[in-house]
Amino acid sequence: MAYKITEKCRNCGECFKVCPVGAINKETQKHEINSELCISCGSCAAVCPFGAPIEKE
Ligand code: SF4
Ligand code: SF4
């Protein structure tokens, strides 16, 4: 299981700063999560002001 970033992302960069495993790519048009690196810690969802990261089903 991993998290993904939805269309609500406004590229504020907060999630990138807190991800402990470097799973978030900020070079893409919207921030994206590499599901192979994500350990589902939930930190990105906790800091996102826009509720963009969600747990994938
Ligand atoms: S914290 Fe939220 S709005 Fe900011 S870059 Fe990450 S997903 Fe996008
Ligand atoms: S859930 Fe944790 S490991 Fe996965 S992208 Fe968000 S901050 Fe990184």
Tens-of-pLDDT digits for all 57 residues of the chain? 899 999 999 999 999 999 999 999 999 889 999 999 999 999 999 999 999 999 997
As given in the structure block, the two tokens for residue 42 are 């939930």
- Residue 45 is predicted with a pLDDT of 98
The region, left, alpha or beta by phi > 0 then psi within -120 to 50, assigned to residue 40 is left
DSSP state of 26: -
- Per the CB < 8 A criterion, the answer to whether 31 and 15 are in contact is yes
Domains in the chain, CATH or no CATH each: 3-55 (3.30.70.20)
List phi, psi (to 5°) of 29: -60, -45
Mutate to test the pocket of ligand 1, among 3, 4, 7, 15 (most ligand atoms within 8 A of CB): 15
